[in-house]
Amino acid sequence: MKKQLMSIILKIMSSIDDKLGENSTVLDLSNITSICDYFVIASASSSRQVKAIVDAIEDKLSNEGLTLTHKEGYESGRWVLLDYGDIVIHIFHEEDREFYNLDGIWKDANEVNIDII
């Protein structure tokens, strides 16, 4: 199961990189909460770029047969949450990411080193 999740996370990260997302991070929450196993967090410099990243992620994961459980924030394009069950993705406008500071709130989570997956 973990290997499958890492494969999905790599696809998500690829989508973020393709749309020039910034400051991407993956937090392992599996030992901290039952909400999900992983948070993927990334920033974009505009609402348009936030939406482009979200669209790219949804397209790629849909092609993999994954079903989106919940989505919110798309209309404003400031903070979009995509819930895929074990993986929850947060794409922020960079100002909102600083303000909400999810990285700090979940500081007890281990950061996943994507380079070694």
DSSP summary character for residue 65: T
Architecture of the domain whose range is 2-116: 2-Layer Sandwich (3.30)
The region that residue 20 occupies, defined by phi over 0 for left and psi between -120 and 50 for alpha, beta otherwise, is left
Query: What is the average per-residue pLDDT within 51-62?
Result: 98
- Residue 61 pLDDT exceeds 90: yes
State the pLDDT at residue 6.
93
Q: Tell me, what amino acid is at 61?
A: L
- Residue 113 pLDDT exceeds 90: no
- Residue 117 pLDDT exceeds 80: no
- Residue 50 pLDDT exceeds 70: yes
The region that residue 85 occupies, defined by phi over 0 for left and psi between -120 and 50 for alpha, beta otherwise, is left
Q: How confident is the model at residue 116 (pLDDT cuts 50, 70, 90)?
A: low
CA 19/CA 44 separation, integer angstroms? 9
